Structure formats: C-alpha cells, structure tokens
Amino acid sequence: MTTPYVRFQVEGPIATITLARAEKLNALDMPMIEALVEAADAIERSREIRCAIITGEGKAFCAGGDIAGWGALEPLDMWRVWTRLGHRAFDRLARLRVPLIAALSGHALGGGLELAATADIRVAEPQIKIGLPETGLGMVPGWSGTQRLVRRFGSQNVRHLSLTGELLSGEEAQHRGIVDEIVPQGTAFARALEIAKRVAERGPIAVSISKELINSAEGEETAAAVEGIAGALVSYTADLKEGVASFREKRTPTYSNT
C-alpha cells in the first residue's frame, strides 16, 4: 500500500481492507484513497480471493474526507483531483468481481457512508452513528452520495440525511434499510468474517455473475455487465473458434451456428 493508514491482508479466500488512521477517525486523505484503488486492483487480479471485508479501526469506520486534504484545494483541483479520484476508488470497490462486506464498528459519516455504500452487505454495531453532514459545512456529498446512495438506500433516506444532517444510530439505520444487520458491540468484524466465509464456500463464478447482474439491475455497471456476460457466452461457441482459426489461416470462415 502507498500509506500505512490502509492495511490489505489476504487469508485464504478472504481479503480484508482496514482503515488504520484511528487518531483522525479514519478520515481519508489522498494516499489513503489511492491505497483503496490499489487494494481493489489486487483483489481483481487474484483468482483465490472470493470475498472481501472493509473495516476501520477505533471509534470510526470512516469520518469521510480529511478536511485538511480538501479544504485548501482550488475549485478546479477539487473537481480534477479530489472528487474524481474518490469516485474512481469507490467505483472500483462497488464493482469488485467478488462480494464486499462492510464491518461497521464505528461511525460512518459523509464520505465514510459513501464508502460503506460500496459494499454489498453492511454489518453494524448499535453504538455507531451514520449520516451525511456535508451541507453543514457548506459542502455537498461528493463521492456518489447523491447517486449510489440513492440507488442503494432510496432517495427519501438520502434526502433526509443530506438536507437535515441528522445522524442515525445503528438500529435506526437498519430500520431504514441502510445497514443489513445489527450485532452486539465489538462483534461486527467477526460477523462479517462469518458471512464472508459462507460466501466463499459458494460457487465463485455464480456468485460473481449474480453480483454483476444485481449491480446492473440498480444501474451500477449495466454496460460492463451485459457485454462481459455476452462475451463469456460467445467464447464457448464453435463459431468463435472457427472465426479465430480462419483469421489466422487467412481464409473465409465456415460458421456452424453452434
């Protein structure tokens, strides 16, 4: 990783991404965002990894973007660098080939909630707080808080959180469908690991394709899903083999429609 504040570990078929900047409530700076991209790339390159967990140390899962990281940026740099890099990292995580589980043992605020929304399953502890406080700083959610969060949590939930700045408890977030499961304090990671192990026991190709189809249904990556699955289907055909062979042999192909 490019920073000690993000740890990436693989044990068997399960990868774990840990935000380890507890003294700053795991607020994301530029190197941490770049490290999230690195972690996503490492997961994509591995055939052994079948599920991933993302979590944070200390009192927060993630308190969002580090104000020191973006507060002094010029407006165009905010667009060119900060927002675009954050989108790149979060899109990579949301579109991972394998399922991603968020273990929320601490607060998920602003960009932290946007990061949690990249996961397929969210396990939370009751003491945490969840919210979108950006408008209280004169900012707007910038890492797909008004887009992916709406698709995954519903527009009314996001409207309420963003416009009012209200913070929800873990139980309130579960009631609103923002987190999937509430577990006793101190057990979020253990429960996430239990779910990850169960996922890892299932057919990995079927799991990956199911995830891609679900993502497509909610508009996450429709073009990539349709073309990827179509390409895989065509690769099994005799016609493709004949087309490649005829190209190499510089002859007219004879297709069998099989």
- At residue 73, the pLDDT reads 61
pLDDT at 140: 83
Quick one: pLDDT at residue 35? Answer: 96
Closest CA to 85 of 2, 208, 178: 2
CB atoms within 10 A of CB 78: 15
Catalytic residue among 23, 34, 38, 114: 114
Q: Is 38 a catalytic residue?
A: no
Clarify whether 134 is annotated catalytic.
Answer: yes
Which CATH code fits 6-200? 3.90.226.10
* 35, 1 Cβ separation under 8 angstroms: yes
Query: In the chain, what are the domain boundaries?
Result: 6-200, 204-249
pLDDT at 70: 61
Q: Which of 11, 38, 57, 134 is catalytic?
A: 134
Q: In this predicted structure, what is the pLDDT of residue 80?
A: 67
Distances (CA, A) of 14 to 92, 101, 180: 17, 11, 20
Name residue 8's amino acid.
F
pLDDT of residue 229: 73
Q: What is the pTM of this model?
A: 0.90
Strands ordered across the beta sheet of 121-124: 6-11, 14-19, 51-56, 100-104, 121-124, 181-182
**What is the structure's pLDDT at 244?**
87
CA nearest to 182, candidates 120, 119, 113, 123:
123
Predicted pLDDT at 159: 96
Per-residue confidence (pLDDT) for residue 235, from 0 to 100: 81
Q: Which residues of the chain have pLDDT under 70?
A: 68-80, 223-224
pLDDT tens-digit map of 71-109? 566 666 666 677 788 889 999 999 999 999 999 999 999
